[in-house]
Amino acid sequence: MTTGLERLRELKALGRLEAEYDRVAPLLAELTDDPGTSAAADLPRAGRLLAGLDRAAVLAAHPGTPVVTVAVTGQSTVAQLVDPLTAELARHGLLLHPVLGDHGAYLHDLTSEQGLFHGLGADLSLCLLDAETVFSEVPLPWDVAALSRAADDVLERLTGLAAEHARLAGTADGTGGTLVLNTLPLLRRHTHQLVDHRSRAQLGSVWREFNAALLRLTERFPGLAVIDLDPLIAETGPVSDPRLAGYAKAQYTAPLLAAYAREAAHLARSLRGMTKKCLVLDLDDTLWDGILGDAGADGIAAAGTLRGEAFGAFQRTVKQLGSQGVLLAVSSKNDAEPVLAVLRDHPDMVLRETDFVQVNANWRPKDGNVADIADRLGIGLDSLVLADDSPAERAQVRHGAPQVSVVPLDDEPALHVTRLLADGWFDTPRLTDEDRARTGQYRVERERRELREGSGSHAEFLRELKVGVELSAPLGHEFARLAQLTQRTNQFNLTGLRLAQADLEARAADPRQLVLAARATDRFGDNGLVGAVLGHRAADGLHLDNIWLSCRVLARGIEQGCVAVLLERAREAGLAAVHARYRPTAKNHRVRDFYPSLGFEEVSEEVEEELGEDGNGAGVLLRHDLRTVPPVPEHLTIDARIERLDEHDPNDEHDPNDGHDGLGGDRR
């Protein structure tokens, strides 16, 4: 049987790899979907093939392919990172544009106006550090005190680097994106240069304190991520090969670099709004040991036996994910009543019926079942991850619902947890209170659905729902959720723009910019922060740079109400007009007519070169002359506090986006 890697080689030999780049992700998925394959070796080989691609040719054939620009620098040689990073991004349909820095010149690369990355606008800036980052600063001979002083100096330098990156990220010509550092592994060839055990213990303490302080920098700098190498080393084995470290200054082994590349790709994916929302679980031999239909409730186990304990560990991991906002659902070939009885009463179960937002236990095809789950939750198929032990069921879903990501399980339950967590499908830069409350919100959504189904019309449903909206500047603790909303929202994202927390905080601090958060409630409870508006004042009026709205609350009039209020306030402030833009992406076509439906008229078409990375063709610029302002929908109550519209001088000729792309200089 021809493997995915072999087919990639065939495409390469035929000169078809660029033209058929849309086949790359499914072929790479084959390397990891089967637990028995040698993906650890094959993925970097595939990355080597893909690293030689002509990016321009790929984009000519597939113009919607997202490109991730990654700046790579560090203490030592970093070129070996390109192949595994290329493969890991390609697995998720992303095309890598790597820019490699100079050997050992990471400070200059990242902060100097003459540095290689100045003005690059990188999505990620990977600064790969190693033990030599500290030991190169230590005099010879050295002791623990000298090492401690060197570690303090390096930490101060890295803190300054993070601060400078945060400053530059808010400028038009800065590096942008997210800066990624990593903890430093301490090797035996370092510790055993000290001959007494007491000094070795002190050295270990100093080193761990340094790494802990490095990890804590993420609390101060939202645009910083620090990858902890310890868990990766525990799974991949040796940190370095002494020969490569000595001769080539390559401080890390290929397996460790591959693991690092996977973590970096997960981060890039989450920043692109590609974080998955729902884990769909099979039951028999996935969530518990045994076949419920054959053995009955007494014949299945998730505790009490060797295999049962492994399933129990899997359930505990799933429950932990659910506590952090991952929606849990069931798709199982079983009768519904026995399944619900087990979830309610079986003594082995860690997961209960209340942990799931949807339980589909029936005999319908699994691809149809996962589609039904997505429809009932109001999310896209590409927001689902299926964990299933059956190769046939997985194949059916890959064929019938290819947007769904698949976690391949088999008959070894002790590996279920490892395989579930391997791809970081639910990774997110920041966890918010809204995330933790998400399962409860979706359970309440079922009550809303029942109200909708029992109402005579959609208008009647909206009147009975009693929607209330608060629109105002974000509170300090809301910026993390606001950033997450911009990164994860795809359907109602009118330009495809995604922003980091630091970007939003910088814009909110600028009196010329308008940053608003929309919070919603209804008769069933609090929906939390569900929308955001980004704009700025200029001499010709108010510019709406983008609007985001969570898919959970679409079609409730919230989006129309917020814009109606903004138009009315702009008219009251004496502004000449309100300007807006729409840029098509792969997923926002349904809101193409949103602005025109509210009285905006198209005034020009944007040139394609101005489009952001998610652009899928030329966008349009629109204008509302404020002569006739649409009313707020009758069923909606809005409490709007938009003081900044009145604070700025409308005659100010300075456009805060001069020299930028109209979105404050951020093209992500």
Least confident of 5-19, 219-233, 598-612: 598-612
pLDDT value at residue 26: 86
For residue 396 the two structure tokens come to 């059916």
For residue 487 the two structure tokens come to 């990164």
Residues 376 and 478 in one domain: no
pLDDT at residue 390 is higher than 90: yes
For the chain, how are helix, strand and coil distributed in percent, rounded to 5? 45, 20, 35
Contact 58, 21 (CB under 8 A): yes
Burial class of 86 by CB neighbour count within 10 A (0 to 12, 13 to 18, 19+): buried
Burial class of 472 by CB neighbour count within 10 A (0 to 12, 13 to 18, 19+): middle
Q: Is 666 left (phi over 0), alpha (psi -120 to 50) or beta?
A: beta
Alpha helix (H) residue ranges in 353-414? 366-377, 391-400
Sign of torsion over alpha carbons 255, 256, 257, 260? positive
- Give the integer Cα–Cα distance in Å for 501 and 472: 17
Contact 663, 535 (CB under 8 A): no
What 205-211 contacts at long range (C-beta under 8 Å, 24+ apart), as own/partner pairs, is: 206/144, 206/147, 206/148, 206/151, 207/151, 210/134, 210/151, 210/154, 210/155, 210/184, 211/183, 211/184
What 108-112 contacts at long range (C-beta under 8 Å, 24+ apart), as own/partner pairs, is: 109/71, 109/73, 110/71, 110/73, 110/161, 110/164, 110/165, 110/175, 110/179, 111/161, 111/164, 111/165, 111/168
Give, to the nearest 10 degrees, the angle between helix 501-509 and helix 479-488.
120
Cis peptide before 141 (omega within 30 of 0): yes
The average pLDDT across 214-233 equals: 94
Residues 407 and 285 in one domain: yes
pLDDT at residue 332 is higher than 80: yes
pLDDT value at residue 175: 52
- Give the integer Cα–Cα distance in Å for 508 and 515: 6
- Give the integer Cα–Cα distance in Å for 416 and 395: 18
Contact 284, 390 (CB under 8 A): no
Q: Which range has highest mean pLDDT (13-27, 309-323, 523-537)?
A: 309-323
**657: in domain:** no
Q: How many domains does the chain have?
A: 4
pLDDT value at residue 194: 95
Residues 460 and 488 in one domain: yes
Q: Which band of pLDDT confidence, cut at 50, 70 and 90, is reported for residue 313?
A: very high
The average pLDDT across 446-451 equals: 72
CATH number at residue 372: 3.40.50.1000
Q: What is the pLDDT of residues 135-164, one digit of tens each?
A: 999 999 999 999 999 999 999 999 999 998
Burial class of 563 by CB neighbour count within 10 A (0 to 12, 13 to 18, 19+): buried
The average pLDDT across 34-52 equals: 75
Does the pTM of the predicted model rise above 0.75?
Answer: yes
The average pLDDT across 497-502 equals: 87
pLDDT at residue 433 is higher than 90: no
- Give the integer Cα–Cα distance in Å for 535 and 507: 9
- Torsions phi, psi of 480, nearest 5? -65, -45
- Give the integer Cα–Cα distance in Å for 493 and 496: 5
For residue 184 the two structure tokens come to 């430093």
Q: Is 163 helix (H, G, I), strand (E, B) or coil?
A: helix
Least confident of 6-20, 46-60, 437-451, 491-505: 437-451
Residue of 246 and 337 predicted with greater confidence: 337
Residues 452 and 577 in one domain: yes
Percent of the chain with pLDDT over 70: 92
Residues 318 and 223 in one domain: no
- Give the integer Cα–Cα distance in Å for 88 and 28: 9
Contact 109, 115 (CB under 8 A): yes
Residues 545 and 455 in one domain: yes
Residues 247 and 388 in one domain: no
CATH number at residue 481: 3.40.630.30
The average pLDDT across 422-428 equals: 92
Domain end: 372, 405, 421, which one? 421
Domain end: 240, 271, 302, which one? 271
**385: in domain:** yes
Burial class of 446 by CB neighbour count within 10 A (0 to 12, 13 to 18, 19+): middle
pLDDT at residue 668 is higher than 60: no
pLDDT value at residue 401: 93
For residue 150 the two structure tokens come to 């060197």
Contact 308, 302 (CB under 8 A): yes
Q: Which band of pLDDT confidence, cut at 50, 70 and 90, is reported for residue 651?
A: very low
Domain of residue 38, residue span: 1-63
**667: in domain:** no
pLDDT at residue 449 is higher than 80: no
462 DSSP assignment:
H
pLDDT value at residue 471: 94
What is the chain's length? 668
- Give the integer Cα–Cα distance in Å for 233 and 436: 30
pLDDT at residue 204 is higher than 90: yes
Q: What is the pLDDT of residues 334-363, one digit of tens each?
A: 999 999 999 999 999 999 999 999 999 999
pLDDT value at residue 35: 53
E strand or H helix at 621: strand 620-624
CATH number at residue 186: 3.40.50.1110
Residues 55 and 150 in one domain: no
**483: in domain:** yes
Residues 470 and 521 in one domain: yes
**512: in domain:** yes
Residues 308 and 160 in one domain: no
Residues 6+ apart with CB under 8 A from 481: 430, 432, 433, 434, 528, 529
**80: in domain:** yes
**438: in domain:** no
Q: How far is CA 245 from CA 98, 118, 282, 414, in A?
A: 23, 29, 46, 35
Q: What is the mean pLDDT of the chain?
A: 87
Q: Is 107 helix (H, G, I), strand (E, B) or coil?
A: helix
Residues 312 and 323 in one domain: yes
The average pLDDT across 5-14 equals: 89
Residues 6+ apart with CB under 8 A from 219: none
Domain end: 271, 291, 323, which one? 271
- Give the integer Cα–Cα distance in Å for 73 and 123: 14
Contact 429, 223 (CB under 8 A): no
Q: What is the pLDDT of residues 653-667, one digit of tens each?
A: 444 444 333 323 332
- Report the largest interatomic distance among the alpha carbons of the chain, rounded to a whole angstrom: 84
Q: Which residues pair with 155 in a beta bridge?
A: none
Residues 199 and 312 in one domain: no
Q: What is the pLDDT of residues 63-121, one digit of tens each?
A: 889 999 999 999 988 889 999 999 999 999 999 999 998 878 899 888 888 888 888 88
Q: Which band of pLDDT confidence, cut at 50, 70 and 90, is reported for residue 439?
A: confident
**299: in domain:** yes
